[in-house]
Structure 1
Amino acid sequence: MNICVGVLLLAFILVSEAQLQSSGENVCHRVDQRSHTYLFKTKKMIVKEKRVDCWDISQNFRCLRKLYEPVYEPRTRVVHVPVFYCCAGTRLEGSRCVREIPTNIWTRSPSGCDCYFNGAQDCACCEFGGCQCDRSHPDKCVQCGYGHTCSAEYDDLNSMGLDGWTLTETGCKCDGSPGAGPCPCCQNRGCPCKKGRTTRCSQCGLPEMCFSVLE
């Protein structure tokens, strides 16, 4: 009986480990070895004496009886347990594994905009000055004209600064000359904003961007 209980508990362990949808996208699995302890019913018996109700008046209707109880011993065995987890480059979201989207100064959101290559509305939305990558990286934008930086080896480059045009909000001279100062430091050939968000930079020649750059 206890062996069956042990098997049921083991089955519960296996099922609980697999709550992450094993057939879902981006789900990887491995097999771990674990020690499982259970009670094994031996052939040994324990003899106990106990008084029970009876019809023997000489024993005051409480007879002494011998009771035989089986002896259980703990046993340990190695079991193989499947473990499901999110593959590299993905993260757990609810019960699904979704792709990790690296921080990218040109990407406003990884989806929600029309794809330029097929018209489907499941591609990245870009910041000002950013353009969608091709179908191999539909969830990413990079600086327009620099499509070769869509590959992962350029992720660090596309993650620098506060946005595509602003490296830091202070630290540069306001006239653009080298040296420390209270004005923003620009990148990717951006220009400091003179109005609007004066702590940010915008694409040179497009000062209207200074009123719409994100925090």
Structure 2
Amino acid sequence: MTQENEMNKELAPEEREELLNVLKTRFEKNIHRHQGLEWEEVQAKLDANPGKIWSLNEMEKTAGEPDVVGYDKETDEYIFYDCSAESPKGRRSICYDREALEARKKHKPENSAMDVATAMGIELLTEEQYRELQKLEEFDKKTSSWVQTPADIRKLGGALFCDRRYDTVFVYHNGADSYYGARGFRGSLRV
């Protein structure tokens, strides 16, 4: 998303306040996800980046329950991930990317994970980020989530997804054009 597009995507003041209240409450209830970080500093960053607030609202609207999971000192950015217990309900039953969507001849899904993420101004988690998230809590015990797929795998028609079963985080592969009611994707956003 270009900076210009991000600027045009702003919430109405009442929507913004409602979202910030939800995020603050979630932040305070889940200190274990971001020990040592202060909400006031996070909110100051959000206040300076209305396009990022819009993206967080998109994450929230699709049942992602975004929360702060870290702070990057080098870039001075707070890191948000979708922290819903299961893969976000509003982002399921989609294939991996546009190429897979266009290649599918019958029973096409409505969209692709990569296209939805781009439209929301977020990125799919990488396998490494997914594993880091799973160290905070147990996620995707009944669902699964697409993760960013290396180009060499994608070039051969595959895509990766992860879940948690048997107290273990697994990474699997599927055809990138596949889609399931229990598979969506988790996103990340830096502010």
TM-score, with normalisation over the residues of structure 1?
0.25
Q: Which has the higher contact order (CA 8 A, sep 6+)?
A: 2
Q: Which protein shows a greater Rg?
A: 1
The structure with the greater share of residues assigned to strand is 1
TM-score, with normalisation over the residues of structure 2?
0.27
